[in-house]
Chains A and B, each alone.
Chain A
Amino acid sequence: MGGQPVLVARPDGSSRGELSIDIADVVCRARLAAAACCLLRPEEVAHEPLFDLVCSDVRCIEPGDAGARRLRTSWQLAALRARLAGWSSAAGESFWREWHRELRRHIGDQRLPYPLRVRLRALADRALERSTRHGRRLAARPFPRRRLRDCRPMTLPPDRLAKVERLALQHGIPIGSPLVALQFQSRIGLVQDAVEALTDAGYTVVRFGKAGPGGALTRGTVVDLTTQDPIPEIELYVLLTAAFVVCDTDDVQHTTYLTGRPCLRLNAIEPFSAYPVRRDGLFTLATAVELASGRALPLDELHGEAYLKHLDRYAHRPHDARQVVAAVSEMIEGVRRGWTEDRAQADYRSRVIEAGRLLHPSLPLVRRWGTDDGFLGDGRLARVQASAADVSRQQ
């Protein structure tokens, strides 16, 4: 458009997290290709304010009617090609899998000569491998960790920002004072002490998202948006302007990759999808409890095959208030004095990378969320948990 190439994309609107990752990814790709980008809005999220974000060094195009039709057509053609490729992979996967099973029926037939059965077994194994290969092509796109690390923060255009600011002010959010965005769906009592610590450190906590059990926060300086219907513009404003974000869902954590704010992810259930890409990210893991026995798993088992392969065999218990306070303190320290990493945190990252390397071929979860060409993330597990994991390993 105007001599500049345009990258057209239709982000996945199934969740806000997926949408954020896709938008960030498209903007990064456009930057690398020195192109402009044009985001086609899926109908279900047509009014999502994330589409209004702009980037300083990549032109985002809102095409006019004629241009829009052309871009939409070219995107539809590309999407059709991708869909056909998907169907072909699905058909291939199904065919080779069934072929494998059909051959196996004959392997057990004692009437057939033994050398033929050996040959059939080899053929069946090869068919299963081909099925797996086709299946891998079907798997969701790997999480673009490297590109997200290099992603520059996006923001609202000044006029839009001013408008949203006025709206935020009407809802009691102090403009200009340091904010911490809090989204927490577990029992709110678990973050009460942390909120108090944040207030002591001079922050105003803005709680948003779905309210979890436990009612309202009773201590500290808090603006509670969970008591009213959610207003996406205000939530986005908080995510754009907060000193850092504390959350316990993937969606919010992934949105911070777009808004560029430091993020503390609480109660992640496994380290791959939650491992922070950027240096200003921290995360903590919930306690996994084996349903059959009631055993609480040590942290190092949460990147083991037995756990990741059968996540449904475990329930998760949120970590205690003490750990939340410790993680929030580490966050405050990082924001104010710069991000540092101790040996236990670096060791933990190495162990997760190593586990990812080993499990990549066999586990779809690791293929989706694992390392990107050996890179897992510059963020880290909160010190309080990394040290505990280190101690339990040494014992």
Chain B
Amino acid sequence: MSRVLFVMLHPGFVRYYDDALDALAAAGHDVHVAFEVSRTKLGEDVTAQRLAARSPRITCGPAPSRAESVRTFLTRSDRTATRSGGAARSWRDPAVREEARESLATTVRLLLDYARYFEPAFAGAHALRARAGKRLPRVYPPVVRAVARLGPGARSALRRVLMGLEHAMVPHASIEAFIREQRPDVLLVTPLIELGSQQVDYIKCARRLGIRSALCVASWDNLTSKGLIRVAPDHVVVWNEAQKQEAVTLHGVRPDQVVVTGAQVFDRWFAASPSRTREEFCARVGLDPSRPFVLYVGSSMFIAPDEVPFVERWLSAVRGGDDPAGRPGVLVRPHPANAEQWRAFDSDLDNVAIWPPIGTTPNDPDFRRDFFDSLYHCAAVVGINTSAQIEAAIVGRPVLTIRAPEFAHAQEGTLHFQHLVGADAGFVHEARSLAEHVEQLRAVLSDASSAAERNRRFVASFIRPRGIDLPAVTAFVDAIGTFAAMPPPAPVRDSWLSRVGRLPLPLLAWTTHRLAEDRPLWVYAVRPGVAAAVWVAAVPYMLAEAWHSAGYPRVKRASRAAYRVWYESTRSLGRLTRRARRPIVAVVRGAARRFARRNA
């Protein structure tokens, strides 16, 4: 069978594809999963270890390391750091040039991602736009905003220039060597659309080497809340027609490149069964089994940074009715990546619980089982804007949400929220106020059947568009198998235009590398002068050092030699004098004696 190279940003993405990877291995494909960065925040390192142990056909390893990762780029631009910047390094150093090349690539990608949020489709996405702008050094956003204000023509020109630069940049040789070494029949990449993602280099290398490539869209919000597909792979694997539409209209992918397979990540929910009875489950989490309970599913940090006060208000509204018997229990399930804020949650209401305990990660053994049991045994699910609401629809529970001003950025301000509440296919009961929500909740608790049809319609169109009985994993594996069996595309050769386009890249790289420090512009203006002054100041120190290391010892040696010569010569002279004195004295004395005798 074929060989598949699957490049993931970090091991956290394994959870979107673990069943699909198993199925690929079972179908006889050899799969190597390469991780661009390691991550341990939610136990992702464990996921990678587990994955490699699942099948001999699946192997895992790191992708080639980068001279400058996106994270390093962002760290360099911390203006508040007093120690960042490091020692001045020479441009002749190849490592510096490579870093600068990565800086240019990351800057161009972040600019493209930021610029996309000025398109009319994202007019209300203020928070997403701000998030994308925050990643850039501060000199760029005002420029992009000014261009965007000039109108669609200027926006399009900016996008073309940036895309031209993206296409002109050649990926590092190590990535090409890595792909050659792996010899894949098909290269899969996920998520590719993170802000400033460097994974686009893999797509570019695959095109140069004539290897078929595909982007696997990991989740339902990926195409609307993050960055752009800057270089289109040969195929884009999406969940459903809505995502296909997004890929075509928002990312410029050709419709024939898009393959709809369904949401492979949710297949497990169709076949799952509860691991405990309702009584056992309620006893475990601390709820009253005799009363129905509502499951509140927490959202991520970006969606709900301050969720606890809202839930306290929601709880008081839901539990504030006059009839105690009509008050449902509440199980709060914090988002695993946004759970810490719940440590301060302390409800004095009875029949309210938080489960699983804070600190539980998605890789803990019982995580999925507990989640399914929570969904299965609850009477309704409430949340702001989270994937768990989709999972609830699959399990067949009524799903509700409340529009709240503090979450406007995550509801009206995101496109993917429309999938939940949209008039045609949306399945979530949406309320404009807590009072309306309480009414809706009361209605669904008394008659859940009204939600069933909406859920079924949503699941059929959004989760399993190829047929409610056809597992998305099967469709995914078929699609990958088809890609692998197709003849490889012809390698893309560099055109003369892209070669010409590369000429200014070193200068741009040099500039963007420096601007990535995010210092005020006057610093760059005075920097050469400061460097010159420092080196001028170094001259006396260097002379002194040269004197101490070379001049002074020589002079000392010479003076010692001269002294020695003088000393030795004077001693010799003394000896000679003493030697010569004796005969002279004798002669003089003899002459004196003779003279005395003659005169006597």
- A: which residues have CB within 8 A of B? 94, 97-98, 100-110, 112-113, 115-116, 120, 128, 187, 189-190, 212-215, 289-292, 294, 315-318, 321
Contact = CB atoms under 8 A, between A and B. Distances in A.
A190 B71 CA distance: 45
B348 A189 contact: yes
Interface string B293-322: 000000000000000110011011100100
Contacts of A190: 348
Instruction: State the majority secondary structure of interface residues on B.
Output: helix
A289 B343 contact: yes
B87 A294 contact: no
A116 B341 contact: no
B527 interface: yes
B82 interface: yes
Interface stretch (B118-126, B500-508, B534-542, B576-584): B534-542
Contacts of B85: 101-102, 104-105
B527 A112 contact: no
B84 interface: yes
B87 A107 contact: yes
B313 A213 contact: yes
Contacts of B553: none
Contact of A108 (B82, B86, B344, B537): B86
A316 B345 CA distance: 9
B530 A102 contact: yes
Given A108-B86, A291-B340, A94 B537 contact: no
User: Which 5 A-B residue pairings sit nearest by Cβ, starting from the closest?
Assistant: A108-B87, A315-B344, A213-B316, A113-B541, A291-B340
B173 interface: no
A109 B535 CA distance: 11
A128 B82 contact: yes
B423 interface: no
Interface in B498-549: 519-520, 522-523, 526-527, 530-531, 534-535, 537-538, 541-542, 545
B530 A289 contact: no
A113 B542 contact: yes
A290 B340 CA distance: 9
Contact of B537 (A116, A128, A189, A214): A116
Given A113-B538, A213-B316, A291-B343, A94 B520 contact: yes
Interface in B10-47: none
Contacts of B341: 291, 315
Contacts of B530: 102-103, 106
Contacts of A318: 346
A294 B313 contact: no
Contacts of B527: 102
11 contacts: A98-B523, A101-B519, A102-B530, A105-B86, A105-B87, A116-B537, A187-B348, A189-B348, A213-B315, A214-B316, A292-B340
B320 A215 contact: yes
Given A115-B541, A213-B317, 7 more contacts: A98-B519, A101-B523, A106-B88, A108-B88, A116-B537, A120-B534, A315-B341
A48 to B, nearest CB: 24
Contacts of A321: 348
A108 B316 CA distance: 59
A373 to B, nearest CB: 31
A105 B88 contact: yes
Contacts of A97: 82
Contacts of B316: 187, 213-215
B519 A113 contact: no
B358 interface: yes
Contacts of A215: 316, 320
Contacts of A94: 520
B493 interface: no
Interface in B331-376: 340-341, 343-348, 358-359
B92 interface: no
A334 B85 CA distance: 58
A279 B428 CA distance: 55
B550 to A, nearest CB: 14
B197 to A, nearest CB: 28
Contacts of A105: 85-88
Given A213-B313, A289-B344, A101 B84 contact: yes
B313, B343, B522, B545: which has the most chain A beta carbons within 10 Å?
A: B343
B341, B344, B545: which has the most chain A beta carbons within 10 Å?
A: B344
B208 to A, nearest CB: 37
B83 interface: yes
B325 to A, nearest CB: 18
Nearest to B310: A213
Nearest to B320: A215
Contacts of A98: 519-520, 522-523
Contact of B538 (A112, A128, A315, A316): A112
A215 B319 CA distance: 10
A167 to B, nearest CB: 28
A289 B545 CA distance: 57
Contacts of A128: 82
B309, B345, B534: which has the most chain A beta carbons within 10 Å?
A: B534
Contact of A116 (B315, B347, B538): B538
B88 A294 contact: no
A316 B523 contact: no
Nearest to B311: A213
Contacts of B541: 112-113, 115-116
Contact of B83 (A104, A112, A113, A187): A104
A317 B523 contact: no
Nearest to B88: A105
A241 to B, nearest CB: 30
A289 B522 CA distance: 44
Contact of A100 (B82, B313, B359, B526): B82
A110 B86 CA distance: 12
Contact of B344 (A120, A214, A316): A316
B348 A294 contact: no
Contacts of A109: 87-88
A322 to B, nearest CB: 12
Contacts of B312: 187, 212-213
Nearest to B526: A102
Contact of B523 (A102, A189, A213, A289): A102
A213 B317 CA distance: 8
A130 to B, nearest CB: 13
A102, A115, A128, A190: which has the most chain B beta carbons within 10 Å?
A: A102
Contacts of B88: 105-106, 108-109
Interface in B239-283: none
A313 to B, nearest CB: 9
A363 B181 CA distance: 55
Nearest to B83: A104
Nearest to B308: A315
A189 B534 CA distance: 67
Nearest to B87: A108
Contact of B358 (A100, A115, A294): A294
A321 B545 CA distance: 74
B82 A106 contact: no
A317 B344 contact: yes
A98 to B, nearest CB: 5
Contacts of A101: 82, 84-85, 519, 523
A189 to B, nearest CB: 5
A318 B309 CA distance: 12
A128 B81 CA distance: 12
A215 B523 CA distance: 57
Contacts of B345: 317
Contacts of A213: 309, 312-313, 315-317
A4 B272 CA distance: 84
Contacts of B523: 98, 101-102
A196 to B, nearest CB: 16
Nearest to B531: A106
Contacts of A316: 344
Contacts of A120: 534
B334 to A, nearest CB: 12
